[in-house]
Chain A
Amino acid sequence: MKAREQSRLGRWRAACSGRHVMQESATYRNGEAIMARRRKTLLAAGAALGTMLVTTACGTGTGGSSSGDTYTLGVVTSQTGPASQLGVGEKRGAALAAAHINANGGINGKKLKLIFADDQSTPDQALQQTRDLLKQGVAGIVGSSVVANCQAIGPLVEQNGPVEYCLSPGIDASGYVWSASAKTDALAEETMQYWKDKGIGRVAIINTTDASGTDGARAAKAAAKKVGVTVTKQVSYDPNAVSVTSQLQQAMSSKPQALVVWATGAPVGVALKGIQQLGIDLPVMTTDGNLANAFLKRIADYTPKTLLIPATRDFWWQTLPKNDPAYSLEKEYHNKYQAKYGEQPDFGPGVAYDSVLLMAQAIKKAGSTDAADIKAALEKVDGFEGVVGTYHMSPTDHRGLTVEDVRMVQAKNGEFTYVGK
């Protein structure tokens, strides 16, 4: 069995090292006699570019296995690529949680070990890395960072486990799939309600065409309808787009009073640049995936006057009363993170921290690494104090947080400041 896996892995690695590229080139060589030289070269160029897209997708495997005195969890995050502004922090948050658990006696006397994998921000790598982790016998998967990658992993674990704790709020969690943070719909609802309370009744939505963007636009439209805000226009753009000024103009032609930019990372930067170039002076909302220090630094010169983000408790905990148990929990987490990584945690670390703690607690309660036992234990979580919020789960609620856990923060002067509910 092991030998067969080894040889399969070997073949995969060989493919990734470029051997199949050579074979394709050889095929073209055979046709030399009949093909015009120039056309052949062009075809080969196309083939080379095509295979290159495949080779870029090949990643590196991670080693490791579970043994008698440890519990092992797999952590799949986007360490590189566009989603890395989330993934890098998530890895840190997960590591901090594991260190916290192990410093406090581990799980039922056993140490918790995390195996980290990088999905390079692509769904196919998320699936590949998860397969590798499952082969290594992990008790559960924490990750991935964005909706599309979680959706790629979902079908693999949905029926028989193990539990996948997706770190993106955007997925519909059921079966063996859990979702971190507050639901996209809750974030959208909080935003629309906030605007309605401020007297804003006309909103335009601009979203990326990837899974997160499309889901966000859907949620924003539904929330607007629920709250009683008019969506004047919805336009979308490619995450790789160089400029989105034409989409912004299209949105502006519908005379909105505020803009929703549902995208994460560099594409939001491109939209904010467009907003500045067009001299648009409206309040802008973007998603919690952009609650990242790196993002704030990048957009420092292009931040609109009012840039609002719906956020969970780890961003407004300082407004809690000092005698609240959550206050001391948050303080300890923020101080430990600052001490270890030299900066304040942003969106990623919080969700990963809580996910690892919740998985560890479930393993502890279940007393085994059996997927069904862990699932049942997680579904019984009620009133667990995490850094993101207070979790109340059930067999039909694989998230445990609601719109009550969300408040609005504003990105200003390189910081996120609480602006209200």
Chain B
Amino acid sequence: MVDVVQTIVSGLIVGCVYALIALGMSLIFSMSRVINLAQGAFVVFAALAAVSVQKAAHLNPVLLMVVMAVIFAVVLAVVDVVVIRPGSKRAGRERMLLITVGLLQAIGGLLLVVWGNLPYTMASFSNKQSVTWGGVKLATQYFWIVGVLLISVAALWFLLQRTGLGLTMRATAQDPAAASLMGVNVDGVRLVAFSLAGAMAALAGTAIIPLTFLQYDTVVPYAVNGFIAAVIGGLGSSSGAVAGGLLLGVLEGVFSRYTASSTAEVLAIGLLILLLLVRPAGLRGKMSEVRR
């Protein structure tokens, strides 16, 4: 039993990272109707950048995460202004996908040039040894990762539901053209969405790297899994993104525990395809939006 719980917990932790990627992707999609396939790449980018920043500055983990979040909020804002916004004024949605794939490739290349081809990691934020709860061993870093997801979700909920800017964002998500006619600065709202997605990618990357090793070519698995999580949850739905990410993480974990791990990924994705056949809009997406 302990064994099963341990497997589920490990899966949930990986799922938290997928959830953060999906959350950023979903947010950007709501405001701009652009599927940013490069979102997962920014997690790895932020992780490697965090390693370098930490090596140079030896910051307190909380401060490190704040610094990285600010840096990547700016990075994604620049990406929006320089790449996505001019692109989406000229190209349709399918072309925009190619642009974000290009962006993903470009980030992989940038990481290879700057950090080389070796894997990187970082010391745990807290105690190196795990804590044991009822026989289940939990790395202290797990708490940081879960904390990052909880804070991101809570902050996003507060912003969208309790502030004027959030109201504007929700209006834009519902109908960008109508919002624009009502005097909403749609470009500005999009910029905020990209910055938030950047901050979330930075938090995910900084929190996960002490647990594992990342390198330039890990951008693709993160991008793919984040995208799958977003689709499963229902693109555009924040709660769906979180549910999709956690579900994908747990499925991969459970299957890789009981089958050969290469089969596990196939099984997990196969099961998710079945889910999409039953619920084409994803876990939390709206049917009307899929049919629109």
Contact = CB atoms under 8 A, between A and B. Distances in A.
Contacts of B95: 25
B235 interface: yes
A270 B262 CA distance: 17
Interface stretch (A33-41, A194-202, A311-319): A33-41
A294 B118 contact: yes
A243 B14 contact: yes
A241 B215 contact: no
Question: Dominant SS at the A interface?
Answer: helix
A45 B223 CA distance: 12
B213 A270 contact: yes
Given A41-B35, A243-B10, A294-B118, A81 B217 contact: yes
Nearest to A245: B10
Residue picked from A42, A247, A265, most chain B C-beta under 10 Å? A42
Interface stretch (A48-56, A339-347, A373-381, A393-401): A48-56
B249 to A, nearest CB: 9
A266 B253 contact: no
Given A238-B261, A241-B261, A243-B10, 7 more contacts: A25-B98, A45-B35, A81-B217, A88-B117, A209-B260, A237-B256, A298-B119
A273 B211 contact: yes
Nearest to B120: A298
Contacts of A279: 129-130, 137
Contact of A36 (B129, B137, B213, B290): B290
Contact of B94 (A25, A80, A82): A25
4 tightest A-B contacts by CB? A266-B119, A238-B261, A277-B139, A246-B7
Contact of B121 (A39, A49, A85, A269): A269
B256 to A, nearest CB: 6
17 contacts: A40-B94, A41-B97, A49-B224, A51-B101, A80-B112, A84-B118, A88-B117, A237-B261, A243-B139, A246-B253, A266-B119, A277-B130, A277-B137, A277-B141, A279-B130, A298-B121, A302-B121
Contacts of B13: 242-243
Interface residues of B, number: 59
Nearest to A40: B94
B6 interface: yes
Interface residues of A, number: 55
Interface string A265-302: 11001100100111100000000000000100010011
Nearest to A269: B213
Contacts of B280: 39
B292 A38 contact: yes
A36 B6 contact: no
Interface in A137-164: none
Interface string B1-35: 00100110010011001000000000000000001
Contact of B212 (A21, A243, A265): A243
A250 interface: yes
Contacts of B264: 238
B265 interface: yes
Interface string B210-247: 01110101101101100100010001000000000000
B150 interface: no
A321 B128 CA distance: 43
A277 B208 CA distance: 14
B85 interface: no
A242 B291 contact: no
Interface in A57-97: 79-82, 84-85, 88
Given A253-B3, A277-B130, A266 B265 contact: no
A413 interface: no
Nearest to B211: A243
A107 interface: no
A245 B137 contact: yes
A108 interface: no
B6 A246 contact: yes
Contacts of A80: 112, 117, 217
Contacts of B6: 245-246, 249
A259 to B, nearest CB: 16
Interface string A14-40: 000000011001001100000011111
Nearest to B219: A56
A44 interface: yes
A240 interface: yes
A21 B94 CA distance: 11
A270 B208 CA distance: 12
A236 interface: yes
B119 A52 contact: no
B37 interface: yes
Contacts of B291: 36
B101 A41 contact: no
Interface string B60-91: 00000000000000000000000000000000
